[in-house]
Structure 1
Amino acid sequence: MSDIEIARKAKKKPIQEIGAKLGIPTEHLLPFGHDKAKVSEAFIKSLAKNKNGHLILVTAINPTPAGEGKTTTTVGLGDGLNAIGKKAAICIREASLGPNFGMKGGAAGGGYAQVVPMEDMNLHFTGDFHAITAAHNLLAAMLDNHIYWGNELDIDIRRIPYRRVMDMNDRALRETVVNLGGVANGFPRETGFDITVASEVMAILCLATDLRDLEKRLGDIIVAYRRDRSPVYARDLKADGAMTVLLQQAMQPNLVQTLENNPAFVHGGPFANIAHGCNSVVATTTALKLADYVVTEAGFGADLGAEKFFDIKCRKAGLKPEAVVIVATVRAMKMNGGVAKADLGTENVAAVKKGCANLGQHIENVKQFGVPAVVAINHFVSDTDAEVQAIKDYVGSQGSEAVLCKHWAHGSKGTEDLARKVVSIVESGSAQFAPLYLDDMPLFEKIETIAKRIYRADEVLADKKIRDQLKQWEEQGYGNLPVCMAKTQYSFTTDPNRRGAPRGHSLPVREVRLSAGAGFIVVICGEIMTMPGLPRVPSAESIRINRDGLIDGLF
């Protein structure tokens, strides 16, 4: 059966029963239908004195067209831990409409390791992304309105970094001119749109600890600069209160279930190639207070998602992961070894061995953070025993272990070995987590540290304007912020076509942006776009409601 057929046959339990597994009373669940609900802020606050469970991160090699299955493995591991008698929950991100209608498709796992309701999760879900879009654009509207009515704050309209957002891939909106049409419409200026998942408001919602913290962070957003170059904040426009009101419900984490009726928190959704790529802090910390094991994921490969999870989310939220699972596939190893997608079904042990260099660099990188790693080989039916053994042998030579996982076909039964390995790592107490760099390191040195130690670049290329901007932010008190690298997910380099583990490359920095509310510096490298475009044949062309009233094309 296909993923969608499996999802439709799911025997879901009422969301109140799923909440009861974690000890969440019915009165603290705000239901959206029968199979999803938000968890109340009052209940979350009541958990403050609970002991934290164990935090497990699932990450992956650099993505390839062959597919890796990181979310599928996250779901499978959560089910596997429950199957061996552990009280476990998973925490993943919400899906963006942009890639769903673009080229990625759904983001709820696959096979017998899925989160349901699949269609709802991949579309409007509980409206969180709409609320984030509205709050972001309210601030943009209030900014232009302030300028129109006299510009009391003396904003220099040539220096307005704050752009509008929408949750869709639309290259036509990357660069725009607003306020055209004469005096009644305001003062014309250049601006543009980013995708909602790149919005600072999205990052803020995912890093805030409660509504009070959310409002403060929203107020800290820098929307513009005055003629004397001093910053203008959202609080100067008195927008932070109304933005918080729009986000009040969105701030509450969403509870759903896996196909095996285990609890799953699905909340927030910043991209990992252009934002920090992790689900919300409030969902993760809530899960840790309710479950003994919490399995979460970070977007794309470990060079982006895991690095940002460690250096941004864990640093900001005081989280201490105890084990990391790196997802790899035989097919992806062969692609990294130079095999074309059309030839992936043919056994090629030599290509597997050659492609393992990419996996090896991710293993080395994760260990730099002091967290032990295990490799999950996500099984495909075309894999041969010799190819699987080649990966196991290579990983063993790197001082780690690779476990074959068949969760797509068998659900929790296919991940019990991985679950036992994760438990053994946690119980060994060997994790000694620490971020890659210290808070007080200069901003450019933080960029260099990531470029050289994670990407293995020889140098960072940045012109004087960018270096001067970083120094200016340090002088303004922002030097202790972490950096959020915006870079292609397909390679350790900024060239998406360079697979494997390249050496002798440079990291070109095109632009830097200050996200003062979120609390990080965005470093845009190479040709990465904060507003993606649709492919030649977008997935939207195949998405429709069939004659039975069901949605086709999301998987």
Structure 2
Amino acid sequence: MSIKVASDIEIARAAALEPIETIAGKVSIPEKHLFRYGPHKAKVSAAYAGNLDSKPDGNLVLVTAISPTPAGEGKTTTTVGLGDGLNRIGKRAMICLREPSLGPCFGMKGGAAGGGYAQVVPMEDLNLHFTGDFHAITAAHNLLSAMIDNHIYWGNALDIDTRRIVWRRVLDINDRALRETVTSLGGVANGYPALAGFDITVASEVMAIFCLATSLDDLRKRLGDMIVAYRRDRSPVYCRELKADGAMTVLLKDAMLPNLVQTLENNPAFVHGGPFANIAHGCNSVMATKTALKLADYVVTEAGFGADLGAEKFFDIKCRKAGLKPKAVVIVATVRALKMNGGVKKDDLGVENVEALKAGCANLGRHIENVKKFGVPAVVAINHFAKDTDAELEALQAYAASQGVSAIVCRHWERGSEGTAELAQKVVDICEAGEADFKPLYREDIGLFEKIETIAKEIYRADSVKADAKVRDQLTQWEEAGYGHLPVCIAKTQYSFTTDPNKRGAPVGFELPIREVRLSAGAGFVVGICGEIMTMPGLPRVPAAETIQLNAEGQIEGLF
């Protein structure tokens, strides 16, 4: 007789949520500094968050993962489970997550708030409109687009070369039809026809700035520094020259405040911001992280996709720019995903295969090696699945031990914090040992192309980087314009260390092709776009949206 396992949304719906004032009280946030969005969501006032500098910082813990596969890894679920586990063993802990994008929710994922008994709630709100932050970012971004076209329509006093407008529009829905568009058709009254296009909102430079800014003043300055176009003499046109930065800041004023919610076990969580990690820097906001570090002894955050993307960008971009010093890294792995990295097909993952697991462990080993390069000690969290066998778990733990790290079996999906208590204690032990000596992968004063090569060779293990003269010349021009000190953000597939998503495991002997480079002058990094990566994803053959609906009681079904 089979046992029916409750779905994520059923578990979330049955949760006993506490009033948001109670959650805030657990980390000493006064009720008067909450801006409520109903009984279970609130933003924390800037006045309160900005007056915490005298408090010491807690311990920052990053949760990352092996390269993602269709078998699933559970990085967000583990982040939530670890936060609950730390509270369970008596530590004052918070988690900091990104907000889910509507694009993946209605496309592949169907939700992104954890799973099982390790979730952030209210789950339906979180996965949909939440507090409207992404809508504000979309509006601010597209306001600038409108002001560019309007400026040109009314005479183009800035002498913008209409062939060199680099500011695209955005939408937080996966829509491949909008990747390349033509605007202003229909005659003189509609402006000048032009080639244009859309990116997904989470790829917007406004989103990146939103997550890296430390105040409203910093936000406005960064928005003003964005390059939106070039003149015929190739000189840049900045957002501030169009006088759009003030209005954009107004649209983002409330969105900038961190969102406070809770886990299923009623522990506090900030969920704020959400740049993608395969096409942006993949971390939640600096505002939320820095505020949490003043409120809790342990702050658990995640970075998107595998450690080659999310963790590298977390270290080299977010930590570098925000002055953060992580104390420990948790690398999430599953038996299933490692067997897939070892060549097993998805339909056969339920069958014990220790040899395939051992072969797939090369992927885990490379991520362990990479994390060590940043000077931060690591532990492996084995996200347990019901069909994992003892022999497979033991082989995985033995492999991790051979790499000099512990691997702890975690059952948070099934048991909540009880299933991560051992991992939580190990994280505490690592932090208290004080062995972390964080350092970025590369220095600021080396060239932009050398930074790209460093990531390609040290993190991906490419033999070389391929870039045509146009790309190299563009990087040189940016260096001459004073942008050479910026870090780089590689946009590539999340499924492989290479640009071929089908090459799993730990490939070597390949070339990394840089197709295009973009300057995010406001965010403060240079983006290198590799292979076929898209900044506007498409929907899959069977999108999750097909099963998301309201039931007869008016409840949402289909999120997971």
TM-score after normalising by structure 2: 0.99
Alpha-carbon distance in 2 for matches of 1:183, 1:6:
56
Computed over aligned residues only, the root mean square deviation of the Cα atoms, in angstroms, reads 0.4
User: Which residue number corresponds to residue 7 of structure 1?
Assistant: 12
* 3-state DSSP of counterpart to 1:454: helix
Alpha-carbon distance in 2 for matches of 1:179, 1:476:
33
User: Which residue number corresponds to residue 77 of structure 1?
Assistant: 82
Alpha-carbon distance in 1 for matches of 2:212, 2:413:
31
Alpha-carbon distance in 2 for matches of 1:336, 1:466:
33
Alpha-carbon distance in 2 for matches of 1:214, 1:268:
14
The offset of 1:191, in angstroms, is 1.1
Query: Which residue type is aligned with residue 159 of structure 1?
Result: R
Work out which of the residue numbers 52, 55, 79 in structure 1 matches 2:57.
Answer: 52
Aligned ranges 1:402-441 → 2 under 5 Å: 402-441=407-446
The offset of 1:189, in angstroms, is 1.1
Query: Which residue type is aligned with residue 94 of structure 2?
Result: A
Is the aligned partner of 1:23 residue 2:28? Answer: yes
User: Which residue number corresponds to residue 178 of structure 1?
Assistant: 183
Alpha-carbon distance in 2 for matches of 1:465, 1:323:
40
* 3-state DSSP of counterpart to 2:38: coil
Work out which of the residue numbers 503, 508, 516 in structure 2 matches 1:511.
Answer: 516
Runs of 4+ aligned residues of structure 1 deviating over 4 Å after TM superposition are none
* 3-state DSSP of counterpart to 1:157: strand
Alpha-carbon distance in 2 for matches of 1:166, 1:109:
24
Aligned ranges 1:125-274 → 2 under 5 Å: 125-274=130-279
The offset of 1:105, in angstroms, is 1.5
Alpha-carbon distance in 1 for matches of 2:145, 2:347:
47
* 3-state DSSP of counterpart to 1:512: strand
Work out which of the residue numbers 374, 380, 395 in structure 1 matches 2:379.
Answer: 374
Where structure 2 has 5 or more consecutive residues not aligned to the other structure, the ranges are 1-5
The offset of 1:4, in angstroms, is 1.1
User: Which residue number corresponds to residue 3 of structure 2?
Assistant: none
Alpha-carbon distance in 1 for matches of 2:489, 2:90:
38
Is the aligned partner of 1:537 residue 2:539? Answer: no
User: Which residue number corresponds to residue 48 of structure 2?
Assistant: 43
Work out which of the residue numbers 507, 530, 538 in structure 2 matches 1:525.
Answer: 530
Is the aligned partner of 1:342 residue 2:375? Answer: no
* 3-state DSSP of counterpart to 2:428: helix
Alpha-carbon distance in 2 for matches of 1:464, 1:153:
29
Work out which of the residue numbers 381, 384, 389 in structure 1 matches 2:394.
Answer: 389
* 3-state DSSP of counterpart to 2:165: coil
The offset of 1:180, in angstroms, is 1.2
Query: Which residue type is aligned with residue 82 of structure 1?
Result: N
Is the aligned partner of 1:445 residue 2:455? Answer: no
Q: Could you tell me whether the CA contact under 8 Å between 2:73 and 2:337 is conserved in 1?
A: yes
User: Which residue number corresponds to residue 312 of structure 1?
Assistant: 317
Q: Could you tell me whether the CA contact under 8 Å between 2:203 and 2:280 is conserved in 1?
A: yes
Alpha-carbon distance in 2 for matches of 1:105, 1:474:
42
Query: Which residue type is aligned with residue 376 of structure 2?
Result: V
Query: Which residue type is aligned with residue 372 of structure 2?
Result: K
Write out per-residue CA displacement over residues 125-182 of structure 1, whole angstroms, 9 at most, x where no aligned residue: 0000000000000000000000000000000000011000000000000001111111
Query: Which residue type is aligned with residue 526 of structure 1?
Result: G
User: Which residue number corresponds to residue 469 of structure 2?
Assistant: 464
Alpha-carbon distance in 2 for matches of 1:83, 1:230:
57
Write out per-residue CA displacement over residues 429-467 of structure 1, whole angstroms, 9 at most, x where no aligned residue: 100000000111100000000000000000000000000
Alpha-carbon distance in 2 for matches of 1:475, 1:182:
41
Write out per-residue CA displacement over residues 25-83 of structure 1, whole angstroms, 9 at most, x where no aligned residue: 11100000000000000001111111000000000001001100000000000000000
The offset of 1:547, in angstroms, is 0.6
Work out which of the residue numbers 467, 484, 490 in structure 2 matches 1:485.
Answer: 490
Alpha-carbon distance in 1 for matches of 2:188, 2:251:
31
Work out which of the residue numbers 347, 360, 365 in structure 2 matches 1:360.
Answer: 365
